[in-house]
Chain A
Amino acid sequence: MAFSIVGILAVLLEAFRPLIPLIVAVVVADIALLAYTVSKGQFAHAKARRLSLWAGAAFMVGAFLVGPSLTQVTFGSFLSITDWVMLGAMSVGVGIAGFVLTLPMTSLIKF
């Protein structure tokens, strides 16, 4: 089965449809913070990047640990390296999202 970007986005939209109001609120707040910190010339300074990296790492580890339980099972259901790699890849995705989402917030912190 071939995949398309539109198809993948459509599936993600359906997966998160119940959370759309919350997601929109977070994204709007994030964009507002981004605009503010950019205008103040303090977006993504070194300390902010470091803090967001830690936040992203925390998101990643959290996603890795709770991933199986979100599917009603434990790590005991993992039978192959594929399962670990897929969970790892999904956790990295969550970690990157965490980094990106927290960066405008951490940029508020003074140098």
Chain B
Amino acid sequence: MSQKSSNAGPNHGRRKFLQVSGLGLAATAGTGIMTSKALAKVKTNARVVIIGAGAAGLDAANRLSRELDGAQITIIDSRVEHIYQPGLTLVATGLWKASKVMDENARYMPDGIDWIQARVIEFDPETNSVLTDTGQRVAYDYLMVTTGLQVNYSGVEGMSPELIGQMGIGCVYDNPNHATRTWNMIDQFTDVGGVGLFTRPRGPVKCAGAPLKVTMLSEDLLERKGNRDKAQLFYTPPAKGLFSQPEINEFLKEELPSRGISLLWDHPLVGIEPELKRATFETPEGNQTLDYDFIHVVPPMQAPDPLANSPLSWKTGRFAAGGWMEVDQHTLQHPRFQNVFGSGDCVGTPVGKTAASVKAQVPVAVANMVSSIADRELSARYNGYTSCPLVTRKGQALLVEFDYDLKMVPSFPFVNPYEKHWFPWMLKDRMLHAAYNAMLRGRV
């Protein structure tokens, strides 16, 4: 694999110019004359390209457009709709209407940036360019990769997205349509009962709390409908843990069985037979099959193919299998292509893949990209912050926040993160969507 410094590439002179102008500004700021962040814009004529207009991409676009003066910023994404993905579990369990999570990317695009409505099919960091599915090659001086991830339905034999909402199959991920169809299945299941299987694949997934929330909210719904006795529920983790944070893992290991949800350890789902309503799990004792009336399928996830197949992905180590983007876990800079930064679901870091992670990662990635442009040291650090309002029932949740060390880092010291409260539910139901939208505008 080739090594590449930030000064390499076809636009060495251009980058040098902007570094020098950035240095001048940084020096001025250093005198204390310029104390306002608004005045501390870095002058540059750099071409900055952002791949992906999801949460991380829009947040980065807004921040970069505010922090850079003169940069030519381009964002590439074919999607016009914006989905508030943290709300999908609530849609899938009948607590929110699907319309509540639908939005438009255009509402959050900052003025003065170019939006290429296309999909990137090739990353070429050797020549500092990307290729779109419309055949356009876009050159950059600095690249922010925020592609999100790809749900691999084919990773479960017999599964396809078209099956969601039929024959007892649900899957909360990807879009409101899937969530709505999942709700149709959960609504039916909680009316008539039967065997409910709630799965979780191997490897990182976005919002790792979502499979647990769907499980607990389905159980709660059975209870509220008075049909709890009619159903047997099973949660099938791929190993012997439920959650990466140890104390919350212990909490869940008590909570689920206390509600009659059986835990089938080492049961990653590998196949389904929709017509027979039968699921196959790869266990240490060999493949085992279970019949179901409802199954919540969580397929394996990976970085989008163009990113996974590019020189930007991890080539060795625990993140190589999913093709996740290689970044320094603290600076979010690519270690080999130093004009490339990443944030959001696509990066291979030990903790992440939540909207809360995006909220913590993007300011770091942007600050470090701006520092790189200004030829300053990369001083911003991502500590692995992530958060999950772990909804246990309608109206109750745990506010779980932790970092790379898996230590709890509560934002509200008066809220015990190990106890169920109404307050985190209130945040989830009424406030976090607003916080998310503010994040898209780069304001939190």
Binding site for B on A (CB under 8 A): 1, 3-4, 6-7, 10-15, 17, 68, 70-74, 76-80, 82-83, 85-87
Which residues B394-444 have CB closer than 8 A to chain A? 394-396, 401, 409, 411, 414-416, 419-423, 425-426, 429-431, 433-435, 437-438, 441, 443-444
Whether the pair B411, A3 counts as a contact (CB closer than 8 A) is: yes
Whether the pair B438, A7 counts as a contact (CB closer than 8 A) is: yes
Binding site for A on B (CB under 8 A): 95, 356, 359-360, 385, 387, 393-396, 401, 409, 411, 414-416, 419-423, 425-426, 429-431, 433-435, 437-438, 441, 443-444
A12-B434, A77-B422, A79-B396 known; A1 and B443 CB under 8 Å? no
Whether the pair B438, A14 counts as a contact (CB closer than 8 A) is: yes
In angstroms, Cα B441 to Cα A76, docked, is 36
Pair count A-B, CB < 8 A: 83
Whether the pair B438, A13 counts as a contact (CB closer than 8 A) is: yes
Q: Find chain A residues with CB under 8 A from B419 CB.
A: 79-80
In angstroms, Cα B395 to Cα A80, docked, is 13
Nearest 7 pairs of A and B residues by beta carbon: A77-B395, A73-B395, A10-B443, A15-B434, A14-B434, A10-B438, A7-B444
Whether the pair A80, B411 counts as a contact (CB closer than 8 A) is: no
Q: Find chain A residues with CB under 8 A from B421 CB.
A: 79-80, 82-83
Q: Which residue of A lies closest to B426 (CB)?
A: A71
Whether the pair B441, A80 counts as a contact (CB closer than 8 A) is: no
In angstroms, Cα B416 to Cα A25, docked, is 40
Whether the pair A11, B438 counts as a contact (CB closer than 8 A) is: yes
In angstroms, Cα B430 to Cα A63, docked, is 14
Q: Which residue of B lies closest to A85 (CB)?
A: B414
Q: Say how far A70's CB is from chain B's closest CB, in angstroms.
A: 7
Q: Find chain A residues with CB under 8 A from B401 CB.
A: 1
Q: Find chain A residues with CB under 8 A from B360 CB.
A: 1
A68-B422, A78-B422 known; A73 and B438 CB under 8 Å? no
In angstroms, Cα B426 to Cα A85, docked, is 13
Q: Say how far B323's CB is from chain A's closest CB, in angstroms.
A: 29
In angstroms, Cα B422 to Cα A78, docked, is 5
A7-B438, A14-B437, A72-B95 known; A1 and B385 CB under 8 Å? yes
A1-B360, A71-B422, A71-B426 known; A82 and B415 CB under 8 Å? yes
